[in-house]
Amino acid sequence: MYADYHLHCEYSDDSNEPMENQIRQAIASDLDEMCFTDHVDYGIKRDWDDPEGIIIRHAVEHGKEVDLVLANVDYPKYFTALNMYQKKYASSISIKKGLEFGIQSITVDAYEKLYASYQDDLDFVLFSMHQVNNLEFWTQDFQKGKTQKEYNDEYYKEIYQTMQMFHHYSCLAHLDLLARYDENGIYPFENEKDIICMCNEKRGKINCGKIKITKNK
């Protein structure tokens, strides 16, 4: 079976690609199954219905000033669209409903609440870490003032700690994400082997057939 379980569409604030375009492309690529996993990043982003409103960040991209909208998935619209496309393309491809949780130890309570609200809608959850203590990697805020060893040690320890606190996920995503934003070059996995092995032992599992989220012990 050919499948892709890490896809983002227009319901992620970092993507403009329409959901239906991705479905058509998946069918054209002969995929049997696909799962949308749009981003949720509590701590640095808010929900669309948050009474405090969404966050706008002023930034410079490619030499131009831009306003970045920082918001989580609009859950009702997202799941409504997925249900519609599941029916529309049922004879061509299996479409699963997922989310990518950009979780931190300080935001576990928010994800517990989110999971409780939408667990019946979810087939799959990615456990990801995009920031620590609300300090993002891509902006270098997390790495600032630390040695390469210090920020790598803290990153992997935070993943392991959070995995012990939150259990409603299917798969650990891009464990080496920090390397993408490491301006000091490649930091060998061997230097973090013990903690990485501990994370691996705690990782989520997927049941075959209908995808189910299983709790880690």
Residue pLDDT, tens place only, 2-20: 999 999 999 998 899 999 9
Q: Is 209 left (phi over 0), alpha (psi -120 to 50) or beta?
A: left
What distance in Å separates the CA atoms of residue 173 and residue 179, rounded to the nearest whole number? 14
pLDDT, one tens digit per residue, over 139-196 is: 999 999 999 999 999 999 999 999 999 999 999 999 999 999 999 999 998 999 998 8
Give residue limits of the domains in the chain. 3-46+73-202
What fold is seen in the domain 3-46+73-202? TIM Barrel (3.20.20)
Reported as a pLDDT band with limits 50, 70 and 90, residue 82 is very high
* Structure token digits, residue 139: 């902006």
What distance in Å separates the CA atoms of residue 117 and residue 196, rounded to the nearest whole number? 31
Question: Residues 209, 211, 216, 217: what is their CA dihedral angle, to the nearest 10 degrees?
Answer: -40
Per-residue pLDDT, 98? 98
Report percent pLDDT > 90 for the chain: 77
